[in-house]
């Protein structure tokens, strides 16, 4: 049976994309090489019709912008915060949870880095990002200067899995579990939950850092924060297990957002299954490696049982479907 999937770009100004030109469209059966329509996940727009009307070619892709750096702060030598001025439309496009951009220095024309949005202020057009300095690409970003320019490409939106579950949370008790650099992409999710009048509970693990770098942004929202270690040697701590169970039982939490490494998401899903919490709705960070952001280069692909391959820079899915049946190399 054919699996119904979502594409984050379906129906947007960037659809159809270059995948359609090669019969690799994520949604449209006719743009996958079939001679008939077999849409399992109708999104209100006929991608094939859009493709034909656009001259049987992809629409214009994301643009590249040179942006002025307003502020640069380096924490503990391995966490970099950058604020930059962006075009107004781009600032609007990057407000939603899961938004990210590709960033590089102007001198570097060979590679850029996908970075999640911490905050996009549509009043000032100032976009804030936080970067963990880990490898060659991110180390190069240390060369950025206040008052200088950076080159960005965007907008992209698939930085969070389970967006449908997030959108449905209105007037509910919800739980957010964040660890490390996951604090940054957590903030647009917190904003969305707050705007929808949810009672937000946050379990925050600063590790491997000593400070809460998003406290300034958290203080803008009514969030019940508990600082607690959530992982120990790759396993959930007993303390966080007790907290999760308590929130579900005593506060009727039926939605959890997980902002951290994949191992945190996997262990929380496993624990929920053990306590009969399969009904809990989830969303989580998309930590898949990306390069082009368009599903063309193959960096974002993951293989599943049954020889299935998914392009996770575009495929929007429930976290359980992302990790169930996936071939992992830890």
C-alpha 42: how far from chain center: 23
| Domain range annotation of the chain | 1-61, 63-156, 160-288+304-323
* Separation between Cα atoms, residue 246 and residue 203, nearest integer Å: 12
* Separation between Cα atoms, residue 231 and residue 299, nearest integer Å: 28
Pick the CATH number of 63-156 from 2.40.30.10, 1.10.260.40, 3.50.50.60, 3.90.1150.10: 2.40.30.10
> Residue 328's pLDDT is what?
53
223 closest CA partner among 265, 177, 184: 177
CB 207 within 8 A of CB 229: yes
* Separation between Cα atoms, residue 259 and residue 29, nearest integer Å: 34
- Per the DSSP assignment, residues forming a β-bridge with 17 are none
- Per the DSSP assignment, residues forming a β-bridge with 88 are none
User: In CATH terms, is domain 160-288+304-323 a member of 3.40.1350.10?
Assistant: no
Burial 204-222 (b: 16+ CB within 10 A, else e): bbbeebeeebbeebbeeee
* Separation between Cα atoms, residue 190 and residue 196, nearest integer Å: 10
* Separation between Cα atoms, residue 249 and residue 181, nearest integer Å: 29
> Residue 330's pLDDT is what?
46
pLDDT in tens, 149-160: 999 999 999 999
* Separation between Cα atoms, residue 91 and residue 89, nearest integer Å: 5
Nearest 5°: phi and psi at 180? 60, -135
Please list the ranges in the chain whose pLDDT falls under 70.
1-4, 306, 325-330
> Residue 3's pLDDT is what?
62
Question: CA angle 123-159-240, nearest 5°?
Answer: 105
12 closest CA partner among 45, 35, 54: 45
Q: Name residue, tokens 């960037």.
A: 14
């Amino acid at each position: 049976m054919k699996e119904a999937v979502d594409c984050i770009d379906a129906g947007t100004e960037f659809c159809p994309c270059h995948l359609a030109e090669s019969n690799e469209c994520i949604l449209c059966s006719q743009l996958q090489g079939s001679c008939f329509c077999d849409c399992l996940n109708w999104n209100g727009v006929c991608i094939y019709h859009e493709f034909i009307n656009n001259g049987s070619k992809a629409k214009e892709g994301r643009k590249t912008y040179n942006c002025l750096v307003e502020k640069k702060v380096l924490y503990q030598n391995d966490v970099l915060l950058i604020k930059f001025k962006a075009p107004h439309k781009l600032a609007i496009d990057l407000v939603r949870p899961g938004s990210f951009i590709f960033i590089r220095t102007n001198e570097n024309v060979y590679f850029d880095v996908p970075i999640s949005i911490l905050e996009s202020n549509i009043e000032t057009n100032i976009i804030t990002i936080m970067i963990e300095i880990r490898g060659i690409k991110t180390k190069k970003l240390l060369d950025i200067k206040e008052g200088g320019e950076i080159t960005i490409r965007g907008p992209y939106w698939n930085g969070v899995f389970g967006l449908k579950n997030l959108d449905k949370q209105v007037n509910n008790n919800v739980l957010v579990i964040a660890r490390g650099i996951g604090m940054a992409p957590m903030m647009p999710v917190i904003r969305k939950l707050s705007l929808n009048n949810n009672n937000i509970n946050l379990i925050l693990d600063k590790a491997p850092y000593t400070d809460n770098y998003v406290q300034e942004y958290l203080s803008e929202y009514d969030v019940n924060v508990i600082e607690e270690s959530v992982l120990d040697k790759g396993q959930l701590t007993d303390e966080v297990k007790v907290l999760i169970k308590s929130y579900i039982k005593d506060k009727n939490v039926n939605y959890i957002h997980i902002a951290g490494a994949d191992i945190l998401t996997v262990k929380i899903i496993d624990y929920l299954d053990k306590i009969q919490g399969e009904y809990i709705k989830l969303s989580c960070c998309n930590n898949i490696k990306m390069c082009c952001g368009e599903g063309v280069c193959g960096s974002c692909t993951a293989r599943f049982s049954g020889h299935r391959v998914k392009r996770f820079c575009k495929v929007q899915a429930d976290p359980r479907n992302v990790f169930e049946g996936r071939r992992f190399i830890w």
